[in-house]
């Protein structure tokens, strides 16, 4: 039975095997981490996140007390619930586009609109939604702020614990430091500190400057739990709105391209045209393709000279000496009627009667030995040539 041929089988490179194994291990590790962690988004004030900066504890307690908490990622969903009379918590009120802010403001103005709770909003957000509240300052370090005499606006809390550098949101930038707000008109403030109030309300909008109050780590401080539950649990439903980058309205925000001068477009098109012309010029063939019949034949002298130049360039003197000895041995065997496959000992025995050289000298000439410099290689070539001429006589 003939063994199957493996000629068409290609060996897979080891680097490709290692790369495939690394990718497979990375995918398995990612899936394992996701399964162990659970299917939740880990971010600041995420309603399902059990991490210190998440808000799962607040949401669970609200649900246990009868408040149905829903999560919204798009402004249109939050605005719909707001127009329906529900309470909407805007977890990250900074960075919304003008279109998003306009939709929220128009929803607040609708008949029967609900209540909007903003967490640490910036001046632009407040200016778009209300005229009675503006930023006043911030509290960077740990502090306990008393409610003071603010009646029902305290929502049953006598003091709030504000976290500073060690807080769960310390690395979140705009949500890290607690903010205070100044009020005017019919708006009211509570928990006064830093030139303003941590909690203010103008009726339709309530502003909470301490985002740590709603985190899993900060909810246990002072009366933070009482404030969070009473502030958000007054209705049967609560929409927890966390803005998402995939929101179609968020994509309408001005991009970097809108700030570029008008002449950038024509210049960019001109540069692209230059690049295309340069690529065409560089890729143009210099004349027709030369067709040469195969197989290509070359003279023996060219092959010998080419191999000699390669050996010279690589300084392979021993390899050149071996080639000289093999060629000379083949020619000597042919002249003496020997086969080219004859062993060196048989060739030396056949040469002995026809030359004046001693057996040791003959062996030194024809046996494979290293050559260290050009002088030895030249001397070897001269001696082999002399041996062949002596045999020819």
The number of residues making up the chain comes to 393
List Cβ neighbours of 75 (8 Å cut-off, separation of 6 or more): 96, 99, 100, 103, 104, 241, 243, 247, 249, 250
Q: What per-residue confidence (pLDDT) applies to 181?
A: 92
Closest CA to 61 of 240, 210, 230, 175: 230
Q: Give CA angle at 92 (217, 248), nearest 5°.
A: 140
Report the pLDDT value the prediction gives residue 291, as an integer from 0 to 100: 73
- Give the C-alpha separation, 267 to 271, whole Å: 6
Q: For 91-233, where are the alpha helices, taking DSSP H only? A: 98-108, 123-129, 224-232
Strand-pair category, 159-162 with 115-119: unpaired
pTM for the predicted model, two decimal places = 0.56
Cα–Cα separations (whole angstroms), residue 17 to 11, 20, 326, 390: 11, 5, 44, 62
Give the separation between CA 122 and CA 127, rounded to whole angstroms.
9
Beta bridge partners of 208: 119, 199
CA-angle at 94, arms to 91 and 100, nearest 5°? 90
Contact criterion met (CB below 8 Å) for 40 and 50:
yes
Q: What pLDDT is attached to residue 1?
A: 41
Taking the C-alpha atoms of residue 120 and residue 180, their distance in angstroms, rounded to an integer, is: 9
Instruction: Return the bridge partners of 199, or none.
Output: 190, 208
Note the maximum CA span of the chain: 132
Please write down the HEC assignment for all residues of 294-333: CCCCCCHHHHHHHHHHHHHHCCCHHHHHHHHHHHHHHHHH
Tracing tokens 């191999």 back to the chain, one arrives at 307
Name, in order, each residue with C-beta under 8 angstroms of 168's C-beta and a sequence gap of 6 or more.
52, 53, 212, 215, 216, 217, 218
Say if CB 290 and CB 330 are below 8 A apart. Answer: no
The predicted structure's pLDDT at residue 23: 79
> Along the 393 residues of the chain, how does pLDDT read in single tens digits?
444 433 344 445 566 667 777 777 877 776 665 555 555 577 788 888 888 888 888 899 899 888 899 989 899 999 999 999 999 999 888 778 888 999 999 999 899 888 999 998 888 999 999 989 998 888 877 888 888 888 888 888 888 888 765 555 655 555 667 889 999 888 899 988 878 888 999 888 999 988 888 888 888 877 888 888 888 887 888 999 988 878 888 765 455 565 566 677 778 888 888 888 888 777 766 667 777 677 766 676 777 777 777 777 777 888 888 888 888 888 888 888 777 667 888 888 888 888 888 888 888 888 888 888 888 888 888 888 888 888 876
């Amino acid at each position: 039975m003939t063994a199957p041929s493996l000629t068409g089988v290609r060996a897979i490179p080891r680097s490709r095997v290692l790369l495939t194994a690394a990718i497979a291990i990375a995918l398995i590790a990612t899936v394992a981490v996701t399964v162990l962690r659970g299917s939740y988004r880990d971010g600041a004030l995420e309603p399902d996140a059990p991490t210190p900066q998440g808000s799962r504890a607040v949401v669970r307690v609200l649900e246990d007390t009868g408040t149905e908490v829903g999560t919204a990622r798009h402004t249109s969903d939050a605005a719909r619930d707001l127009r329906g009379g529900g309470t909407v918590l805007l977890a990250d009120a900074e960075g919304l586009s003008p279109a998003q802010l306009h939709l929220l403001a128009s929803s607040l103005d609708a008949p029967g609109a609900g209540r909007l709770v903003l967490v640490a909003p910036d001046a632009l957000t407040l200016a778009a939604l209300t005229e009675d509240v503006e930023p006043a300052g911030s509290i960077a370090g740990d502090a306990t702020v008393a409610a003071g005499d603010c009646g029902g606006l305290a929502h049953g809390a006598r003091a709030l614990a504000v976290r500073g550098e060690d807080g769960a949101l310390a690395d979140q930038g705009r949500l890290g430091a607690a903010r205070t707000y100044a009020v005017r008109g019919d708006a009211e403030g509570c928990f006064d500190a830093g030139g303003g109030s941590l909690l203010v309300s103008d009726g339709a909008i309530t502003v909470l400057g301490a985002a740590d109050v709603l985190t899993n780590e900060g909810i246990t401080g002072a009366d933070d739990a009482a404030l969070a539950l009473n502030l958000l649990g007054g209705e049967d439903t609560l929409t927890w709105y966390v803005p998402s980058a995939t929101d179609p309205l968020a994509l309408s925000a001005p991009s970097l391209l809108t700030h570029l001068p008008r002449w950038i477009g024509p210049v960019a098109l001109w540069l692209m045209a230059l690049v295309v012309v340069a690529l065409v010029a560089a890729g143009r063939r210099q004349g027709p393709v030369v067709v040469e019949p195969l197989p290509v034949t070359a003279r023996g002298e060219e092959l010998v000279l080419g191999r000699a130049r390669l050996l010279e360039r690589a300084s392979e003197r021993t390899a050149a000496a071996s080639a000289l000895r093999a060629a000379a041995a083949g020619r000597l065997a042919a002249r003496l009627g020997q086969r080219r496959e004859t062993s060196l000992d048989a060739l030396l025995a056949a040469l002995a009667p026809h030359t004046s050289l001693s057996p040791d000298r003959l062996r030194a000439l024809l046996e494979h030995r290293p050559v260290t410099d050009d002088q030895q290689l030249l001397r070897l070539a001269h001696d082999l040539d002399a041996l062949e001429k002596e045999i020819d006589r």
